[in-house]
Structure 1
Amino acid sequence: MPTISKKGHLMPQSPIRKLVPYAEKAYKQGKTVYHLNIGQPDIKTPEIALNAIKEFSLEILAYTRSEGSESYRMKIAAYYKKNNVQVTHDDIIVTTGGSEALLFAFGSIMDADDEIIIPEPFYANYNGFSTASGVNIVPVISKIEDNFALPPIEEFEKLITPKTKAILICNPGNPTGYLYSKAEIEKLAAIVKKHDLFLIADEVYREFTYDGNRHYSIMEEAGLENHAIMIDSVSKRYSMCGARIGCLVSKNKSVINTALKFAQARLSPPTLAQIASEAALETPQSYFDDVISEYVERRNTLIEELQKIEGVKVAKPKGAFYCIAELPITNSDDFAQWLLEDFSIDNETIMVAPAGGFYSTPGVGLNQIRIAYVLKKESLVRAVHILKEALKVYKN
């Protein structure tokens, strides 16, 4: 019988999606499931983006350029300039979601067995992207006690070897909601310049910052032009996860020219989705003001309710729409499955994401879950009540 590749065996399952069969079984049993497990916003996609597709007429749905349509890239560059990021359309490659942008970045700067340092917990698919690219993640652990702030820069320096090619951060962070400060970015900039490394920043949640905090992009940092690679996406910003449009941005021409070869190999990003994404750039600021206000209220509601549960520790997010909660249990994978299979209150239960999959260090995060506060406040209150009661039963 033909065998599966070693890479295929090593490819991790999504900690977010692997519980879907249990949720589907719960549905069939007539249960209501509150989804705290996935970052799919319930915020409506801007009408201007949807109308662009409805009103677009064509006879042939053709390829676009491999790097994305010129008009879209020029408008993205204009959007960045409004946000103090000075780039041109030639510094941008449009990708099929931020995921493809990360794969292009990994493929462009690293060879098999090269190393990339990532503060953990991190977006679970970084594990998958590294496996697919044949590179090794070297984790540096951030702690819930520190609200998942950047670990001391000395901890990064200890991990740098001749195989180290890059440091990767998510800012604001998924799954922690942590927002790196300008001072923290400056520390990272200094170390990548000192050791001649790349600094990759996944900035797909850049719009989602709270409490008066401002997002500071690595592309704003002077002297980092040859080191900085920014990853972006329309998925969360405009609640357009299904569009699958992202981009890779860098002022390093060798990076862009190399990534373009990967882009050419997959031909082009989706044409209709680019049309919608280009239109979305005209979304008024009032849309974001309303969205941010809603997420602040949801965050505050969630954190306040979680803090009422004995034995639960939670970090307060400064951005994005996730938080990590530490529970008085030993195995959140087992707990998350049990919630769907064996527990309900008035035929209602919750679906959470076990946090172990957001680490690459074995055995870390097993008593933690990631919660996405993408539900209405009333639903969040109900979901946390279910969690509180579930913990009582589960521990007994």
Structure 2
Amino acid sequence: MPTISKKGQLMPESPIRKLVPYAEEAMKNGKHIYHLNIGQPDIKTPEVALKAVKENDVEVLSYSRSEGSETYRKKLAAYYNYHNINVSHTDIVVTTGASEAIAFIFGSIMDVNDEVIICEPFYANYIAFATAASVKVVPIVSKIDDNFSLPPIKEFEKLITPKTKAIMICNPGNPTGCLYTEEEIKQLADIVKRHDLFLISDEVYREFTYDGNSHYSILELKGLDEHTIMIDSVSKRYSMCGARVGCLVTRNETVRHTVLKFAQARLSPPTYAQIASEAALETPQSYFNKVKKMYINRRDVLIAELNKIDGVKIATPKGAFYCIAELPVKNADHFAQWLLESFDVNNETVMVAPASGFYSTEGIGSNQIRIAYVLNKESLVKAANILKEALKVYKY
């Protein structure tokens, strides 16, 4: 019998999606599920983006340029310039979601068995992209007791080897909601410059920062043009997850040229989705002000409810719309599955993402879950109550 590749065997399951069959079975049995497992906002996509697709006069749905349409990239550059990120449209390569941007970057700057240092817990698919590229993720642990702030720079220094090619961050963070300060970003800048490394920053949640904090992009750094690569996406900013349009931005011409070769191999990003994404850039600031206020209220409600549950430890997020909760259980994977298979309150239950899948260090995060507070406040209160009741009777 033919066999699959070792790479295929090593490819991890998504902690966000692996429980879907159990959720589907629960729904077939008539249960209502509060989905806290996935970052799919319930916020409406800006009407201007939907209207651009519905009312366009395209007669031939043709390829765009491999790097994305010029008009979209020019408007995208104007958006970044508004946010103190001075780039040209030629610094941008449009991709099929931020996922493709990460895959292109790994393929462009790293060879087999090269290493990338990433703070864990991190977005689970980073491991998948690294596995596909035969790249090794070297984790550096951030802790819930420190609210998942950046680990000391000296700990990064200890992990750098001749195989290290990059340090990668997510800011604001998925799954933690951490937000790195300007000082922390500049500390990372010093280390990548000193060791001649790349600094990759996934900044897809840039619009969502709270408590008076602001986002500081790596592309605001001076003298780091050859080292910095930023990843972005329309998915969360405009509640357009299904558009699958992202981009990478770098002033490093060699990196950009190499990435473009990967982009040419897949021909082009989706045309209709670029039309919608270009139109979405006309979304007024009032939209983001409203959305931020909504997420702050949801966060505060969720944290307050979780803090009422005995034995639960919670980190307070400063950005994005996720948090990590530590539970009084031994195995959150089993608990999450049990919630769907065997527990309900008035025929309602909760779907969460076990946090172990957001760590690459074995054994860490086994009693943690990631919660996406993308539901309305009433639903979040009900979901937290279900977790509270479940923990009273869960025996493992």
TM bracket, shorter-chain basis: over 0.9
Question: 2:212: which partner in 1?
Answer: 212
Question: 1:82: which partner in 2?
Answer: 82
Question: 2:114: which partner in 1?
Answer: 114
Q: Work out the CA distance in 1 between the residues paired with 2:58 and 2:46.
A: 22
Instruction: Map 1:52-91; keep pairs closer than 5 Å.
Output: 52-91=52-91
Question: 1:9: which partner in 2?
Answer: 9
Q: Work out the CA distance in 2 between the residues paired with 1:313 and 1:221.
A: 35
Question: 2:26: which partner in 1?
Answer: 26
Question: 1:156: which partner in 2?
Answer: 156
Q: Work out the CA distance in 1 between the residues paired with 2:384 and 2:223.
A: 46
Instruction: Map 1:367-382; keep pairs closer than 5 Å.
Output: 367-382=367-382
Question: 1:139: which partner in 2?
Answer: 139
Q: Residue type matched to 2:58 in 1?
A: L
Deviation per CA, 1:34-78: give whole Å up to 9, x if none.
000000000000000000001112221100000000000000000
1:391 pairs with 2:385: no
Q: Residue type matched to 1:168 in 2?
A: M
Q: Residue type matched to 1:42 in 2?
A: D
Deviation per CA, 1:247-277: give whole Å up to 9, x if none.
0100000000000000000000000000000
Q: CA deviation at 1:224?
A: 1.0
Q: Work out the CA distance in 2 between the residues paired with 1:104 and 1:212.
A: 34
The answer for unaligned runs of 5 or more in structure 2 is none
Aligned to 1:169, the other structure's residue is in SS state strand
Q: Residue type matched to 2:182 in 1?
A: K
Q: Residue type matched to 2:296 in 1?
A: V
Instruction: Map 1:299-378; keep pairs closer than 5 Å.
Output: 299-378=299-378
Q: Work out the CA distance in 2 between the residues paired with 1:59 and 1:236.
A: 30
Aligned to 1:117, the other structure's residue is in SS state strand
Q: Work out the CA distance in 2 between the residues paired with 1:291 and 1:224.
A: 33
Aligned to 2:394, the other structure's residue is in SS state helix
Question: 1:173: which partner in 2?
Answer: 173
Question: 1:36: which partner in 2?
Answer: 36
Q: CA deviation at 1:148?
A: 0.1
Q: CA deviation at 1:395?
A: 3.2
Q: Work out the CA distance in 2 between the residues paired with 1:216 and 1:123.
A: 20
Q: Work out the CA distance in 1 between the residues paired with 2:174 and 2:132.
A: 20
Aligned to 1:357, the other structure's residue is in SS state helix
Q: Residue type matched to 1:350 in 2?
A: V
Q: Residue type matched to 2:140 in 1?
A: V
Q: Residue type matched to 1:198 in 2?
A: F
Q: Work out the CA distance in 1 between the residues paired with 2:191 and 2:240.
A: 35
Question: 1:273: which partner in 2?
Answer: 273
> TM-score normalized by structure 1?
1.00
Q: Residue type matched to 1:74 in 2?
A: K
Q: Work out the CA distance in 2 between the residues paired with 1:223 and 1:369.
A: 39
Deviation per CA, 1:63-121: give whole Å up to 9, x if none.
00000000000000000000000000000000000000000110110000000000000
Q: CA deviation at 1:144?
A: 0.2
Aligned to 1:222, the other structure's residue is in SS state coil
Q: Residue type matched to 1:220 in 2?
A: E
Q: Residue type matched to 1:202 in 2?
A: D
Question: 1:287: which partner in 2?
Answer: 287
Q: Work out the CA distance in 2 between the residues paired with 1:306 and 1:10.
A: 35
Question: 1:183: which partner in 2?
Answer: 183
Q: What is the identity percentage for the equivalent residue pairs of Structure 1 and Structure 2?
A: 73
Deviation per CA, 1:156-192: give whole Å up to 9, x if none.
0000000000000000000000000000000000000
Question: 1:195: which partner in 2?
Answer: 195
Q: Work out the CA distance in 2 between the residues paired with 1:279 and 1:221.
A: 29
Q: Work out the CA distance in 2 between the residues paired with 1:200 and 1:255.
A: 12
Q: Work out the CA distance in 1 between the residues paired with 2:106 and 2:44.
A: 33
Q: Residue type matched to 1:56 in 2?
A: N
Question: 1:126: which partner in 2?
Answer: 126
Q: Residue type matched to 1:377 in 2?
A: K
Q: CA deviation at 1:25?
A: 0.3
Q: How many residues align?
A: 396
Deviation per CA, 1:114-152: give whole Å up to 9, x if none.
000000000000010000010000000000000000000
Q: Work out the CA distance in 2 between the residues paired with 1:57 and 1:154.
A: 56
Q: Work out the CA distance in 2 between the residues paired with 1:365 and 1:12.
A: 16
Q: Work out the CA distance in 2 between the residues paired with 1:107 and 1:266.
A: 14
> TM-score normalized by structure 2?
1.00
Q: CA deviation at 1:223?
A: 1.1
Q: Work out the CA distance in 1 between the residues paired with 2:140 and 2:223.
A: 25
Deviation per CA, 1:8-54: give whole Å up to 9, x if none.
11000000000000000000000000000000000000000000001
Q: CA RMSD in A?
A: 0.5
Q: Work out the CA distance in 1 between the residues paired with 2:311 and 2:186.
A: 36
Deviation per CA, 1:175-234: give whole Å up to 9, x if none.
000000000000000000000000000000000000110000000011111100000000
